C-alpha cells in the first residue's frame, strides 16, 4: 500500500550504491552546502547527492560522474530537512491536495493527517483509493486512525466496526490512533477504545491524546492506558505537567489557539530549556491563518523567542520523525532519507527560497514549480453534493424551549428561549438567530435558537460541518431558503444571504465539504466571509471553526447533533431530531 514508505526496490537500491561507487551519476547534487545534522546537533558543510527521490550520499566528496546531473551551488545558503506537520486536519475548506501544494511552498513537505472526513464520508475502499492517489504526490502524507466520530450520530457502531478499524489501523500509511477526543468514555470503562489503543501499540504505532485542561490524575491514567502525546497545552504549566508525565508535547499555534509565543515564554519560567520531546503543530487551522506560512512561521516565532536555531528546526523535523519512528525516511539530511530538503538564505529565516520534495523542485529561487499531479476527485467518491430534496418554509419551525448560547468560540451552554420564534424574521436588536441542522439526505432536522453568534446575519447556510449535514443560521427564514437554494445549486458550499440577495459564497464541490480552488484563492474567499460576518456582529475568532464545533461533542456543554440537542456532560439527548 504505502510505496512511499518502503519506496525503493532492490534494483533501485543497487543503483544508489553504484552512484556512491562512481559507476553511475546522481540526478542532483547540492554543492558546498551548510546543512543541519541532528545526530551531532551541529551545522556542517558538505555535498548532498540525490538519486531521484533519495539522498544517496552526504559528505565532502564530489561525484565521479555527472552525466545529465543537475548541479546546484549552495554556497552561502543553508539546508534543512523538509518540515513536518504532525497534526493536520486537511479538510478545513481546503483539501489534502491543495493544502500539500501550498504547504510545500513554505517548506512543509510531510503531513500527518486526520482521517475523520474520509472515515465518515467515504467507504473504506474509496478512502484507501484516495490515500493511494495522495502517495503519487511529491509531498509525503501519513494518516491517523480515529476511534470516535467526535459527535453523536446514528449507526456509529457500523462505521467503527471491527473490520473497518482493523483495515485502517493496519494500513501502512497510518502512523497513530487518535486524536482521542472520546477519552472520557475510556475512563468510564469503554473497552472498544482501549482495545484499539492496545492494537496500535502491538503494531508499533502511536496514540495521540486530546486532553485540554487535564489534571495530573487524568494525565496519569491516560498514560497508563497508552497515550503517547498531547497537543492541548494552553499554558507553560500544561507543557510542564505533560513532560513530567512522560508525554511528547505538540506546541500549538493555530487559528483558534495562537499560543506558541506564550507557551515558549512560560516554559522558560518553568525551567524548560530542552526541547527534545516537543514538536510544532498548526492543528488544522483555517485557510487565512496560513497566509504567512505553516511550520516555517512557527520556527520563526521560536527563534524570535530566543530558542536556539538547532532546537527550533528540530521541533519541526527530527523530533517528529523520531517520535513517529519514521526517522529512517524523514527528519535529517543523511544517506537513505527521502529527498525533502529546504534551501534557506539564512538559518534566521525558515521560509525557504527553494524546496525539494521527493527530489523534485516544487519551489526554485522563490518561484513555484508545478510538480503535483491532478486528482480525479469523482473517482474517489468526492463529487459535488447532490440533494434530491427541497427545503420548505414548514421546515423552519422553531418551537423548542431550549436554545444554545455561545459563551466563546468553543463553549456553548443551554439557555431558555424567551423570544417569539414564530415570526419569519427575528429582530436585529439582539444576538439570537435561528439555528437548524438538517440531514444531507433530507430525512431529519433539529431546530433551535443560537444566541451570541451575531446580531445582523440574515442567513448563513453551510454544507461544511463536522458531520457533513447542512447548517442554517440567521435572522430571516426567507433568506435562509434563498441561501439554501444557492448552496444546493453549487453542489455544496457556504452562502451568506441578505434581503433576498446572495452577498458572498464559497463553493465546496468536493463532497460539499472542500474547495477545489488553490489555497491563495480560498484564503481570499474565507477572509471576505470573515469580514462580512464581523461587520454583522460576529465577535469570535474563527467562523469556520464555529460551524465545525456546533456539532462537536468533545467540547462542553451542549451541541446540535444528528441525534438532536445533546448534553455533553451528562451524555444524554435533551431534544431528539424531528423526522421530515
- β-strand 78-81 against 402-406: which pairing, if any? unpaired
Query: What is the Cβ-side half-sphere exposure of residue 483, based on CA atoms within 13 angstroms?
Result: 29
* 8 Å CB contact between 493 and 470: no
What's the gap between Cα 151 and its chain centre?
Answer: 18
DSSP per-residue string spanning 237-298 = HHHHHHHHTT-EEEEE--SS---HHHHHHHHHHTT----TTEEEE--S--GGGGGG-SHHHH
For residue 32, give the nearest of 69, 80, 78, 82 by alpha carbon: 78
Domain end, chosen from 274, 302, 328, is at 328
Q: What residues contact residue 271 under an 8 Å CB cut-off, 6+ apart?
A: none
Query: What is the Cβ-side half-sphere exposure of residue 58, based on CA atoms within 13 angstroms?
Result: 19
* 240 shares a domain with 96: yes
Domain contains 503? yes
* 303 shares a domain with 157: yes
Domain contains 435? yes
| Residue in the structure block whose three cell numbers are 527530527 | 318
Domain contains 214? yes
Strand partners, 343: 79, 354
Domain end, chosen from 328, 361, 384, is at 328
Strand partners, 71: 29
Domain contains 350? no
564: enclosing H helix or E strand: strand 564-567
Domain of 110 in residue numbering reads as 82-328
* 8 Å CB contact between 535 and 541: no
Q: pLDDT for 447-487, tens place per residue?
A: 999 999 999 999 999 999 999 999 999 999 999 999 999 99
When pLDDT is averaged across residues 370-374 and rounded to a whole number, the result is 95
Q: pLDDT for 67-113, tens place per residue?
A: 999 999 999 999 999 999 999 999 999 999 999 999 999 999 999 99
Q: Read off the DSSP letter of residue 441.
A: T
* 508 shares a domain with 403: yes
Q: How confident is the model at residue 1 (pLDDT cuts 50, 70, 90)?
A: very low
Domain contains 553? yes
| Residue in the structure block whose three cell numbers are 506546541 | 251
Alpha-carbon distance of 37 to 331, in angstroms, equals: 10
pLDDT of residue 2: 42
Domain end, chosen from 328, 347, 363, is at 328
* 286 shares a domain with 178: yes
Q: pLDDT for 38-70, tens place per residue?
A: 999 999 999 999 999 999 999 999 999 999 999
Domain contains 44? no
Q: Where are the beta strands (DSSP E) in 174-235?
A: 174-180, 206-209, 229-230
* 294 shares a domain with 159: yes
When pLDDT is averaged across residues 519-542 and rounded to a whole number, the result is 97
What average pLDDT does the chain have? 96
Would you put residue 198 in left (φ > 0), alpha (ψ -120 to 50) or beta?
alpha
Largest CA distance in the chain: 83
* 8 Å CB contact between 229 and 209: yes
Provide the number of structural domains found in the chain.
2
Amino acid at each position: 500500500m504505502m510505496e512511499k514508505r518502503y519506496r525503493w526496490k532492490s534494483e533501485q537500491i543497487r543503483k544508489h550504491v553504484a552512484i556512491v561507487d562512481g559507476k553511475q551519476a546522481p540526478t542532483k547534487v547540492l554543492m558546498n552546502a551548510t546543512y543541519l545534522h541532528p545526530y551531532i546537533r551541529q551545522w556542517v558543510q558538505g555535498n548532498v547527492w540525490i538519486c531521484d527521490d533519495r539522498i544517496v550520499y552526504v559528505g565532502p566528496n564530489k561525484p565521479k560522474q555527472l552525466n545529465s546531473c543537475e548541479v546546484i551551488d549552495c554556497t552561502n545558503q543553508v539546508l534543512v530537512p523538509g518540515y513536518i506537520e504532525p497534526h493536520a486536519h486537511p479538510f478545513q475548506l481546503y483539501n489534502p491536495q491543495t493544502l500539500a501544494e501550498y504547504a510545500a511552498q513554505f517548506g512543509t513537505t510531510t503531513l500527518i493527517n486526520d482521517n475523520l472526513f474520509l472515515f465518515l464520508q467515504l467507504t473504506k475502499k474509496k478512502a484507501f483509493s484516495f490515500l493511494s492517489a495522495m502517495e503519487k504526490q511529491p509531498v509525503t502524507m501519513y494518516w491517523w486512525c480515529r476511534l470516535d466520530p467526535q459527535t453523536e450520530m446514528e449507526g456509529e457502531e457500523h462505521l467503527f466496526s471491527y473490520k473497518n478499524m482493523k483495515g485502517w489501523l493496519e494500513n501502512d500509511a497510518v502512523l497513530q490512533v487518535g486524536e482521542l477526543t472520546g477519552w472520557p468514555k475510556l475512563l468510564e470503562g469503554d473497552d472498544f477504545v482501549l482495545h484499539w489503543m492496545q492494537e496500535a501499540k502491538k503494531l508499533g504505532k502511536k496514540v495521540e491524546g486530546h486532553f485540554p485542561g487535564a489534571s495530573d490524575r487524568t494525565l496519569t491514567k491516560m498514560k497508563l492506558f497508552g497515550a503517547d502525546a498531547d497537543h492541548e497545552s494552553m499554558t507553560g504549566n500544561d507543557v510542564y505537567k505533560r513532560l513530567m508525565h512522560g508525554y511528547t508535547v505538540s506546541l500549538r499555534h493555530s487559528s483558534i489557539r495562537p499560543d506558541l509565543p506564550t507557551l515558549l515564554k512560560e516554559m522558560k519560567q518553568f525551567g524548560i530549556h530542552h526541547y527534545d520531546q516537543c514538536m510544532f503543530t498548526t492543528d488544522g487551522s483555517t485557510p487565512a491563518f496560513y497566509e504567512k506560512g505553516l511550520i516555517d512561521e512557527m520556527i520563526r516565532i521560536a527563534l524570535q523567542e530566543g530558542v536556539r536555531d538547532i532546537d527550533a528546526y528540530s521541533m519541526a523535523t527530527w523530533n517528529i520523525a523520531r517520535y513517529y519512528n519514521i526517522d529512517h525516511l524523514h527528519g535529517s539530511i543523511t544517506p537513505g532519507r527521502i529527498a525533502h530538503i529546504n534551501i534557506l538564505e539564512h538559518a534566521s529565516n525558515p521560509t525557504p527560497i527553494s524546496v525539494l520534495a521527493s527530489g523534485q523542485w516544487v519551489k526554485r529561487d522563490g518561484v513555484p514549480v508545478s510538480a503535483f499531479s491532478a486528482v480525479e476527485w469523482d473517482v474517489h467518491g468526492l463529487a459535488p453534493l447532490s440533494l434530491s430534496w427541497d427545503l420548505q418554509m414548514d421546515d423552519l419551525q422553531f418551537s423548542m424551549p431550549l436554545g444554545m448560547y455561545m459563551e466563546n468560540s468553543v463553549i456553548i451552554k443551554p439557555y431558555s428561549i424567551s423570544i417569539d420564534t414564530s415570526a419569519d424574521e427575528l429582530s436585529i436588536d439582539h444576538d439570537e438567530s435561528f439555528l437548524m441542522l438538517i440531514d444531507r439526505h433530507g430525512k431529519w432536522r433539529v431546530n433551535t435558537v443560537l444566541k451570541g453568534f451575531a446580531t445582523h446575519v440574515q442567513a448563513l447556510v453551510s454544507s461544511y460541518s463536522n458531520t457533513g449535514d447542512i447548517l442554517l443560521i440567521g435572522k430571516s427564514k426567507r433568506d435562509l431558503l434563498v441561501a439554501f437554494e444557492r448552496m444546493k445549486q453549487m453542489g455544496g458550499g457556504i452562502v451568506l444571504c441578505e434581503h433576498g440577495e446572495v452577498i458572498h459564497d464559497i463553493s465546496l464541490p468536493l463532497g460539499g465539504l472542500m474547495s477545489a480552488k488553490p489555497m491563495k484563492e480560498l484564503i481570499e474567499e474565507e477572509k471576505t466571509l470573515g469580514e462580512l460576518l464581523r461587520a454583522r456582529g460576529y465577535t469570535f475568532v474563527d467562523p469556520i471553526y464555529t460551524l465545525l464545533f456546533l456539532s462537536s461533542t468533545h467540547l462542553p456543554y451542549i451541541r446540535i447533533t444528528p441525534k438532536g440537542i445533546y448534553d455533553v456532560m451528562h451524555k444524554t439527548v435533551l431534544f431528539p431530531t424531528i423526522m421530515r
